[in-house]
Structures are given as structure tokens and as C-alpha cells.
Chain A
Amino acid sequence: MRVLIRGGRVIDPSRGLDAIRDVAIDGGIIRAISEHIEERGHEIIDATNCVVAPGFIDMHVHLREPGQTHKETIATGTAAAVAGGFTAVACMPNTTPSIDTPAVIAEIAQRVAQAGLARVYPIAAITHERKGEQLAPYHELALAGAVAFSDDGATIENVRVLRNAALYARDVKGPFISHCLDDALHGDAVMNEGLHSAVLGLPASPRLAEDVVVARDVLVAADTGKAWHIAHVSTETSLDILRWARSRGTAVTCEVTPHHLLLHDDLFVDYHARAKVAPPLRGPQDSAALRAAVRDGTIDVFATDHAPHTLEEKAQLLSIAPVGFSGLEIAVGAYAHALPDLPLDRFISLLSTRPAQILGVEGGTLAVGARADLTIFGERPWTVDAHSFYSKGKNTPFDGFTFSRRVVATVVGGRLAYQADRGVLEPLAYT
């Protein structure tokens, strides 16, 4: 299949390119980028007034397969990915069973081959069944295709286990990714601790629950030399700890979600769980600090923590309802809304080039000869309607928000996978 992307503003942070160019694709590879390319049996994508970027990679996604297919499947999750402009996602291991054996990775790879619309990079568990006790087989998992290791959703409480895991896995490719919330401090919290939780009488999680684990983990990273990534940073103090660690030369990166950049802990007055998430939504001072940390480069990556659940699950009482909500299909709009003045090359780097580098995967570049994964977006106002999501998780606290930036088309391996006015372009093999 030959595709010609016409007249877009092509921005490639990996090579410092920012110019109006045509992009020719053939056989899944970028063949040429220049001012004018003759059409020769190409499928044409008109990118006039749009930005053409290397494909976006969401390195923090819950695809729920295997085992939790009522919440999401690889088919629906990757459909949501391409609809959100993502050509690749990294999937977290809190599935049933956990991604802690090569067999589970093989099963995922098989499903992706059958029904995947985007690339899927498995993240394997750090410990067996994510229990924080016995080390997972890192070499085997990496050979099977794991790109990183994380017990996401759970914090490894035992520092000896964490240190030994990091030492043993130090020379295995792929960073450790920390979900940082101290279990005992977080307890049965449903929201952030502060004035709002005091007034509402709801169990609350202090910022300290995150900060102490971020501090601990950057120290373990420094001690062991393992490459480390801190997931969904949400507090001002966590950012300060990360800056300090980097100033000492520790190899640690971090990500931020759209919801922590934009939303606060004032969304619980009706006692619904739509904004229940871990780490919890904080206050305006934290979100301002996070936006500043994107601008100053402290934050490396935009990652959504796409965590789909059914409407029935999220409609339960606040104490019972699960944490998280869908993120893939609002990401581009929400990030631009949070940081309207962020230079486009930085915006693209946070969504593409940096996650590719951190995970050590192909992508994040529009070099001629590179795999043709591209995201095309433009300034076209749109309103979030969760019921229209491709994801099975039709919950988001952003429902009804109007954003200005929108995904126009998503190209995966030279194949047009999504176009704004046509939707996801391949029938789902199964749901």
C-alpha cells in the first residue's frame, strides 16, 4: 500500500525538522519526505493545515487482556489507541493472570496479531503475580518481548525485594516503572487529602503517600544503577525529588497524565466515582507545578494511564468503585488544553520521541527508511462524548469538555488506521 501525505507541517523532534512537506510511504516504510512528491498510485491523505508527527506512543495503558475482557480487549483498546492518535501503546501487567511469564506475553502477541490496530508493547511484572515477594524472570520476559517492568497498581513495599530485583535486572533491557503510593498511608482512600476531603468526610490519601515512595525509588535507582521511570507523577514534591535525583546523575524519567495536569480534588461533591483514580487528583498548586515541570523539561513523557472500567463498575459506591478511567481518546485534546503554548516539537517529543527512547522501541522519528507510524493532528474544536469511545471504558471526568486539538489521522505501519471523519478503518476482528 502506497500512501502520500500531502501538504502537512511535518515536525520531527528526533531530527529537528519543522517544515511543510509531503511524505511518501510504501511497504510500511517512510520512503521520502520533500517539498513536492508526485502521486504514483498513492492513497492520498490531505494534511493541509495539519501537523504530521511521528506516531504517538502511550507508555501507560491498561488493555485488560487477558482475563478482564469485560473492561477492555486488545481489539477495543487498540481501536481506542488509533482513534486517540496512538500508533503504539505499552500495556501494564495487572491482567488476569498477570504478565509475569513468557506464555502470557505470547498470548498477548497472538491477540495483537489477530485483532490489534496499534502496536502493543507488553510491560511485564517486577514480581510474581505483582505480590512484591518473588522476582519475575526478567531475562525470559525480555526475550519474549517485554519492554519494561512494573508492578503498576501495586507498590513493592519490601525495599530488599525491590533492590534485589533492580540489581538482578540491571543489565536487562527495559526500565523499571514505579507506581508510587505507600499502601499504609494510602489505605482505603478514595480521594486526595485536603480541605475537600475534610468537608466531604471521605477517606483521603495524603501527598506524602506518593512522595515517600518516589523518594525511596529514586534512591534505589541510584543505588542499583537500574534505569527507572516514575509513573503518573502528581505532586509538587515528587517533582522536586526527581529534580534532585537527576542533579545527582540518577537515570530517572517520569510521566504525567492529562487528568493530573487539568483536574482537581473538587470533583467528588456528588459522591460519584467518575474522578476516582490513583494517584488521586490533587489541588491547583500541584497541577500548576506539573504544567511548569512539562515546560522546564522535568517531565519526559505524556502517558494517559488509560484504565477502562464498565459503567456499572464505576457507578458503584465510591468506596467500591475501581480506580481509573479511559484516557487514550482524550489525550491529544487534553494535553494541548493543559499546555496551549507548549511548542509543537516539545508536544510531539513528549508523546512520541521520548517514550520510544525510554522504552527502547522503534519509533519517535520520521527518518526516511523508518517504519511508517505517523500521527496527523490539527486545531479542530471537538467535544468529548464518552459514549462514543471505541474503548469499552466509557468513563472520563473530561466528558463534555471541549478541546481544540484533534487527531485527524493515524497511520500504523503505512496503513491508514483512523481518520477523523471516517473513524477506525478496520473492522474489529472481535470484541
Chain B
Amino acid sequence: MCQSPTGSMQTRSSPRSLLDIDDLSRDEIALVIRRSGEFRTQLPDRSLLAGVPVLNLFFEASTRTATSFTLAEQRVGADVITFAPGTSSLGKGETIADTAITLRAIGVRVIVVRHNESGFPRRLAESFDGHVVNAGDGTRAHPTQALLDLATLHAEFGRFEGLRVAIVGDILHSRVARSNIVGMKMLGIDVTLVGPPTLLPDSFAQDGVRIERDFDAVLPRVDAVMMLRIQRERIAASLLPALADYTIGYQLGTQRLRLLPKHAVVLHPGPYNRGVELTDEALADPRSRYETQVTNGVFVRMAALDLLVNGTAVRA
């Protein structure tokens, strides 16, 4: 009925930011994945981002993602600065804009940011005259994780169209699931979400995304199953009765591994909780791709930084 006037969302067309995976086109996702494969075979020289000041701004603790980004940045030759303010007062009110302006004035051209609030990178990008790369925001998005998951799938199957993937667990609180849903839909992957209604509300069903409550019925017909981490806090929030109860319906263990097709793979964004969402057997299963995912993360981040800073024309 009413159209609100144009908001301040699209403040500028460039420099480009990666706030979620749909900031990239299908072709660009394919390019990043192809380039990441090339980098994995042979590391590039350190000229791609030579001398580009990149700030890793991690408001929320991170081991794997921060390490992976730092290594990726160093391998493309960036000048890397790391600042982990924790959940500080920075980011309140106008200081989001003020911080962005100050950092640009110092000379920072790329900010890799993680924050515990959904939308923080978008708010930062509004005021930052440079590239913002989202390294995970609240329960919203984690685009480089989705890229590395997709790279792992592509390395396995050589295609996306028609693949069937189940994402299992705490979808409600998962930025990994959200970014993967967006990316997988773009690429024609058939997505099934599995979890209890408290952690997977019915409102998550949308075009191309199905909800199933019976994990056992889903397993035989997938090419990949992505197991999400279950956090103990969900018990205190009355979203789960007990971890042991959760495992009855949703843990990937010996019995369920038998239902998973031979050609299928098991993904986990980490860090995993052994004995909760999956068992030691599942992690040791030859179909598990956890380590490949982590390794791919560095190469995917190198390729994404290259694309954002240098554009596609240079190397497409």
C-alpha cells in the first residue's frame, strides 16, 4: 500500500563489500571457488593486495576464522592489522559512523569484521569508504563460511545444480545456516532444514527450502549433510531439555551414518561438540570433510579479498 522512501541502504555502488553471500553474483561465486582451487594448487605471489591495509576487527572471540583471515591476508600481501576490542562500547550510536570515518582516515581500506549483533557490518559499511568483509555477525550471516562450504561441495561433486543438502540443528541461531541457505538457493541446490521446532521455527520454510523433522527420513536422499553446533545455552533458554535428548532426534552417529549414501559427505562449520551433534565415529568417517573445509577457508578468503579489492575484470 505505502512505499517508504528510499532508505540509506545502498549508500554507494563501490567500493564493494561482502556483507552476505548474495553480494556476489552466481558467476562471482563460481569465480571465487575456481580461484580458491588454483590458490590451493599453487600459492600466488604476495602481490595481489600488496600494501593494502586490512584491519581485522573482531568484537567477538574467534580462533579459526580470525586465524584463517589473517593467513589469507598475509598470503595476498596485505598489511594486516588486528584489533580485538571484545564487545566494547565501540559501535554504539553515532560512534559506528565516527569509527568508520576515523579508520578510513588512518588509511584502512578493508575491514574484516565480526560482531555479536546481526547487521553490524551493514551499519559499518554505510559509513566506511572502503571494503567491509563480514566475518560473522550475530545470527545473521557468515558469507566466507558459506563460500568455503560451497567450495568443498564443488570440489566433491563438480557441480551445484540439483545437489541435495540437509542442514541440521540450531538453524535459528546459525549465521552459517543463513548464509548457506542464501548461497545454495542462488546456485540451485535443493535445501532441507532439519531440527526441532524450537530451533527451527516453521517460518524458515520458503521457496526452495523445505523443513523436515524426521532426520532419518532425510538422510538416505542427500548428497551432503551439514551438522550445526549445539550450544549448552539453549537448555537454560528452555529451547532444549538436555543435550542427551537432542541426540535422539538429531545426532549423527553410527546408526544414522548407515542411512547416509556412500557418495555423500558430512560437513561441519566447527567448532564441533563431540558426542552432541555428531559422534567420534561421524568425525572419523571417510565421508567427513571437516578438515577440507577448514583448509579451503584460507584459499576462499584470499580469492574473495582479491575479487573485492581488484574486481573481476583483472583475472576473469
- The answer to whether B141 touches A201, judged by C-beta atoms less than 8 angstroms apart, is yes
- The answer to whether A397 touches B123, judged by C-beta atoms less than 8 angstroms apart, is no
Q: Scan B89-104; emit 1 where CB is below 8 A from any A CB, else 0.
A: 0011110100000000
Flag the segment in A1-9, A170-178, A312-320 that touches B: A312-320
**Bound CA span A202–B117, Å:** 9
Enumerate chain A residues within 8 angstroms of B117, measured Cβ to Cβ: 317-319
Check A423 for interface membership: any CB of B closer than 8 A. no
Enumerate chain B residues within 8 angstroms of A319, measured Cβ to Cβ: 117
- The answer to whether A271 touches B119, judged by C-beta atoms less than 8 angstroms apart, is yes
- The answer to whether A401 touches B123, judged by C-beta atoms less than 8 angstroms apart, is no
**Bound CA span A269–B4, Å:** 13
In the complex, what residue of chain A is closest to B121 when comparing beta carbons?
A: A271
- The answer to whether A400 touches B5, judged by C-beta atoms less than 8 angstroms apart, is yes
Flag the segment in A52-60, A133-141, A191-199 that touches B: A191-199
Q: Scan A254-269; emit 1 where CB is below 8 A from any B CB, else 0.
A: 0000000011000101
- The answer to whether B206 touches A195, judged by C-beta atoms less than 8 angstroms apart, is yes
Check A399 for interface membership: any CB of B closer than 8 A. yes
Query: Which of A193, A263, A272 is within 8 Å of B201, CB to CB?
Result: A193
Query: Which of B1, B5, B8, B138 is within 8 Å of A270, CB to CB?
Result: B8
In the complex, what residue of chain A is closest to B11 when comparing beta carbons?
A: A270
**Bound CA span A262–B204, Å:** 25
In the complex, what residue of chain A is closest to B97 when comparing beta carbons?
A: A315
Check A337 for interface membership: any CB of B closer than 8 A. yes
Which of B5, B93, B126 has the largest number of chain A CB atoms within 10 A?
A: B93
Enumerate chain B residues within 8 angstroms of A267, measured Cβ to Cβ: 4
Check B122 for interface membership: any CB of A closer than 8 A. yes
Which residues of B1-58 are within 8 A (CB) of A? 1-2, 4-5, 7-9
Which residues of B68-107 are within 8 A (CB) of A? 91-94, 96
Enumerate chain A residues within 8 angstroms of B203, measured Cβ to Cβ: 193-195, 197-198
- The answer to whether B175 touches A198, judged by C-beta atoms less than 8 angstroms apart, is no
- The answer to whether B93 touches A313, judged by C-beta atoms less than 8 angstroms apart, is yes
Q: Give the distance to chain B from A217, nearest Cβ to Cβ, in Å.
A: 24
Check B296 for interface membership: any CB of A closer than 8 A. no
- The answer to whether A317 touches B4, judged by C-beta atoms less than 8 angstroms apart, is no
How many B residues touch the partner, as a band? 20 to 34
**Bound CA span A144–B118, Å:** 47
In the complex, what residue of chain A is closest to B126 when comparing beta carbons?
A: A270
- The answer to whether B94 touches A312, judged by C-beta atoms less than 8 angstroms apart, is yes
- The answer to whether A201 touches B93, judged by C-beta atoms less than 8 angstroms apart, is no
In the complex, what residue of chain A is closest to B181 when comparing beta carbons?
A: A199
Check A200 for interface membership: any CB of B closer than 8 A. yes
- The answer to whether A320 touches B118, judged by C-beta atoms less than 8 angstroms apart, is no
With A195-B206, A317-B120, A317-B123 already in contact, the answer to whether A397 and B4 are too (CB < 8 A) is: yes
Enumerate chain B residues within 8 angstroms of A200, measured Cβ to Cβ: 118-119, 140
Q: Give the distance to chain A from B21, nearest Cβ to Cβ, in Å.
A: 13
Enumerate chain A residues within 8 angstroms of B137, measured Cβ to Cβ: 201
Enumerate chain B residues within 8 angstroms of A318, measured Cβ to Cβ: 117-119
How many A residues touch the partner, as a band? 20 to 34
With A271-B122, A317-B120 already in contact, the answer to whether A262 and B92 are too (CB < 8 A) is: no
- The answer to whether B120 touches A201, judged by C-beta atoms less than 8 angstroms apart, is no
In the complex, what residue of chain A is closest to B203 when comparing beta carbons?
A: A198
Check B288 for interface membership: any CB of A closer than 8 A. no
- The answer to whether A201 touches B9, judged by C-beta atoms less than 8 angstroms apart, is no
Q: Give the distance to chain A from B26, nearest Cβ to Cβ, in Å.
A: 19
- The answer to whether A401 touches B2, judged by C-beta atoms less than 8 angstroms apart, is yes
Q: Give the distance to chain B from A81, nearest Cβ to Cβ, in Å.
A: 24
**Bound CA span A397–B138, Å:** 25
Q: Give the distance to chain A from B283, nearest Cβ to Cβ, in Å.
A: 28
Q: Give the distance to chain A from B132, nearest Cβ to Cβ, in Å.
A: 13
Q: Scan A226-262; emit 1 where CB is below 8 A from any B CB, else 0.
A: 0000000000000000000000000000000000001
In the complex, what residue of chain B is closest to A312 when comparing beta carbons?
A: B93
In the complex, what residue of chain B is closest to A338 when comparing beta carbons?
A: B1
Enumerate chain B residues within 8 angstroms of A197, measured Cβ to Cβ: 203
In the complex, what residue of chain B is closest to A197 when comparing beta carbons?
A: B203
- The answer to whether A271 touches B118, judged by C-beta atoms less than 8 angstroms apart, is yes
**Bound CA span A55–B10, Å:** 43
Check B131 for interface membership: any CB of A closer than 8 A. no
**Bound CA span A316–B92, Å:** 5
**Bound CA span A119–B259, Å:** 73
**Bound CA span A400–B6, Å:** 9
Which of A199, A201, A398, A399 has the largest number of chain B CB atoms within 10 A?
A: A201
**Bound CA span A271–B139, Å:** 13
In the complex, what residue of chain A is closest to B200 when comparing beta carbons?
A: A198
Q: Give the distance to chain B from A192, nearest Cβ to Cβ, in Å.
A: 10
Enumerate chain B residues within 8 angstroms of A312, measured Cβ to Cβ: 93-94
7 chain-A/chain-B pairs, Cβ below 8 angstroms: A198-B204, A201-B137, A201-B138, A202-B118, A269-B9, A272-B8, A317-B123
**Which B residues fall within an 8 A CB radius of A?**
1-2, 4-5, 7-9, 91-94, 96, 117-120, 122-123, 126, 137-141, 172, 175, 178, 201, 203-204, 206
Instruction: Please list the 7 inter-chain residue pairs (A to B) with the smallest Cβ-Cβ separation, ordered nearest first.
Output: A271-B119, A400-B5, A201-B140, A201-B139, A270-B9, A201-B118, A316-B93
Interface contacts beyond A202-B118, A263-B2: sample of 20 additional A-B pairs, CB < 8 Å, sorted by A:
A195-B206, A198-B204, A200-B119, A201-B137, A201-B178, A202-B119, A202-B139, A202-B140, A270-B7, A270-B122, A272-B8, A316-B92, A316-B93, A317-B91, A317-B123, A318-B118, A320-B92, A399-B5, A401-B2, A401-B4
